[in-house]
Amino acid sequence: MYIVTAKEMYDIDDYTISEIGLEGKLLMENAGRAVSERVIKLIRETEPVCIFIGAGNNGGDGFVIARVLLDKGYLVQVVQVVPDEKITGDALFHKRVFIQCGGEVSYLTDLDLIREKVERVHVVIDAIIGIGVKGVLREPIQEIVRIINHSKACVISVDIPSGLPADEGIGEFTSIQADYTFVIAAAKESSFMVDTADFYGQWEIVPIGIPNFVFQNNTAKRQWAEEDFGKTIPSRHVHAHKGSHGKGLIIGGCSEMPGSLAMATKAALKAGAGLVAAGTTEKVISMIAAMCPEATYMILPEKDGYITGCTASPISNYDAIAVGIGLGRREETRHVVAELLNNAPCPLLIDADGLYHLKYQLEMLKQRSEPTIITPHPGEMAMLLGISISDLLSAPFHYTRDFAKANRVYIILKGKHTIITSPEGRQAMESSGNPGLAKGGTGDVLTGISLAMMMQQQELFDALCNACFIHGKSADIQIEEKQTYYDLMATDVIDGISKVYRAFPCKRV
């Protein structure tokens, strides 16, 4: 599933129409029919429906839906909220076809009459404005939207709730509050944003016949789905030995935070790493070694219980290194991250307190010849960017893409919808997981899983997407089977990794 801005969707439509030859009228027919199919599954013929239609192509979709429902015997009323001369092009074509089929259209702007109508119907279909909205809704449409929002009717939006921007980062708007939205052809950015997602209600994408390659050529953003995991997760060879699946090192931990290192280490092994070493202070090793007997341990120099260096040890022997969890923010610790940025001869993942130290040496990212991956939650990403969390969350695709390209870094921006970005600006959204994960330690588990994935035979970008999938899916399976959002623990997420692999068996070569 692809994710688009309004401009990208218009480019995709234009190419499909002008280069491929699928006419706009035909796309509108496909869109209207595809939405009608879903509507028919939701509502009964006896439930009166009112379709609200605006001036653009979104309104055109509305005329197709009206025709299909009328033909199926539904009680359909069509209210046009703009004068006749505003209906032009493909929308006018489909209005005429609807009328030829016996349909009736009333142009209404009297708000009392509209209120009366809306009170009498069970279902409102909102085809007033789609992705072509500009700014805050003008009157009388704004008031019509208010009337619909105050009614008891079930509201079904076509493509996008009218008034809502398709793109992230747009501040002021008034919008239909939909119960359901049937999104045409590709997800719009706003369906994932904290401030706009809820307006969609339950939503689903309806395909309208646009070929896959047209999306691929016009957007670098997509959702990472179960099928992607199934297709990309590497096989385990029958003759594999522990070296075939990577030798990883995790550096972190201090006397106050030993558990995070234990969890990341265990998660990395559970996710499939061949060998994992935990690099930390002698005291932390004595605290956690029994929790993860399968790991090896590397004693690092320390001061007052905090690690102060790491390159005295042979870091060149590893296939991937993670640093930062439970590391602490002492100044003496900062150059642990600097040493790794300078010397780690393999992919380097930086998380948690490591990101805090990275903020002071961001310019080193560009000098690395091996990939660097950062795994911030929104607070950490905002800190790296020097902006507020609310600014970041209003336009996360934009901010993470710019940062990734400018600093040549992979980013996993964690959240309900986690965004994975490559240094070239390719982006995937991974949406598994649930509120049970909103608990300390789950990020450490993701770091461990990510380290394991980074060392398997798969493209690094896919590896990071798959790590997020395993993490979220594990939490989902645990909630389905035995736990609740309240009692899910980070260690349960580690246990659930086995269930993900059993549910999606990978190929054995």
Ligand X SMILES: NC(=O)C1=CN([C@@H]2O[C@H](COP(=O)(O)OP(=O)(O)OC[C@H]3O[C@@H](n4cnc5c(N)ncnc54)[C@H](OP(=O)(O)O)[C@@H]3O)[C@@H](O)[C@H]2O)[C@@H](O)CC1
Ligand Y SMILES: Nc1ncnc2c1ncn2[C@@H]1O[C@H](COP(=O)(O)OP(=O)(O)O)[C@@H](O)[C@H]1O
Smallest distance from K ion to CB 466, Å: 35
Residues 337, 357 contacting (CB under 8 angstroms): yes
Contact status: 190 vs ligand X (CB under 6 A): no
Site for ligand X in 36-55 (CB under 6 A): 54-55
The entry of ligand X, ligand Y, K ion, none near residue 377 (CB within 5 to 8 angstroms by kind) is: ligand Y
Give the whole-angstrom CA distance, residue 412 versus residue 188: 20
The entry of ligand Y, K ion, ligand X, none near residue 55 (CB within 5 to 8 angstroms by kind) is: ligand X
Contact status: 377 vs ligand Y (CB under 6 A): yes
Determine the Cα angle at 200 with ends 195 and 201, to 5°: 110
User: Which contacts (CB < 8 Å, 24+ apart) does range 206-213 have?
Assistant: 206/31, 206/34, 206/35, 206/37, 206/38, 206/182, 207/34, 208/27, 208/30, 208/31, 208/34, 208/184, 209/22, 209/26, 209/27, 209/30, 210/12, 210/13, 210/16, 210/22, 210/27, 210/185, 211/16, 211/20
Which of 418, 421, 422, 427 binds ligand Y (CB under 6 A)? It is 418
The entry of ligand Y, ligand X, K ion, none near residue 162 (CB within 5 to 8 angstroms by kind) is: K ion
Give the whole-angstrom CA distance, residue 87 versus residue 67: 17
Strands (DSSP E) contained in 165-233 are 180-184, 187-188, 202-206, 221-223
The entry of K ion, ligand Y, ligand X, none near residue 157 (CB within 5 to 8 angstroms by kind) is: K ion
Which of 103, 324, 433, 448 binds ligand Y (CB under 6 A)? It is 433
Contact status: 228 vs ligand Y (CB under 6 A): no
The entry of K ion, ligand X, ligand Y, none near residue 57 (CB within 5 to 8 angstroms by kind) is: ligand X
Contact status: 380 vs ligand X (CB under 6 A): no
Give the interface size with ligand X as a residue count (CB under 6 A): 28
Q: Which residues contact 98 (CB under 8 A, 6 or more apart)?
A: 63, 64, 66, 67, 70, 78, 105
Which of 49, 79, 158, 193 binds ligand X (CB under 6 A)? It is 158
Which of 69, 114, 131, 355 binds ligand X (CB under 6 A)? It is 131
Contact status: 176 vs ligand X (CB under 6 A): no
Which among 24-32, 227-235, 278-286, 317-325 is the span making contact with ligand X, rule CB under 6 A?
A: 24-32
- Phi, psi dihedrals of residue 485, rounded to the nearest 5°: -60, -25
Residues 190, 165 contacting (CB under 8 angstroms): yes
- What's at 419, amino acid-wise? I
Cite the DSSP H helix spans in 176-223: 212-218
Per the annotation, binding residues for K(+) are: 58, 126, 162
Which of 446, 464, 467, 477 binds ligand Y (CB under 6 A)? It is 446
Smallest distance from ligand Y to CB 337, Å: 17
Strands (DSSP E) contained in 254-346 are 275-280, 296-299, 302-303, 306-307, 320-323
- What's at 16, amino acid-wise? T
Cite the DSSP H helix spans in 199-308: 212-218, 226-232, 259-270, 282-288
Which among 215-223, 279-287, 365-373, 440-448 is the span making contact with ligand Y, rule CB under 6 A?
A: 440-448
- Taking the least distance from each CB to K ion, the nearer of 157 and 281 is 157
The entry of K ion, ligand X, ligand Y, none near residue 135 (CB within 5 to 8 angstroms by kind) is: ligand X
The entry of ligand Y, ligand X, K ion, none near residue 281 (CB within 5 to 8 angstroms by kind) is: none
Binding site for ligand X (CB under 6 A): 13, 24, 27-28, 31, 54-61, 129-138, 141, 158-159, 184, 208
Binding site for ligand Y (CB under 6 A): 352, 377, 414-416, 418, 433-435, 437-438, 440-444, 446, 471
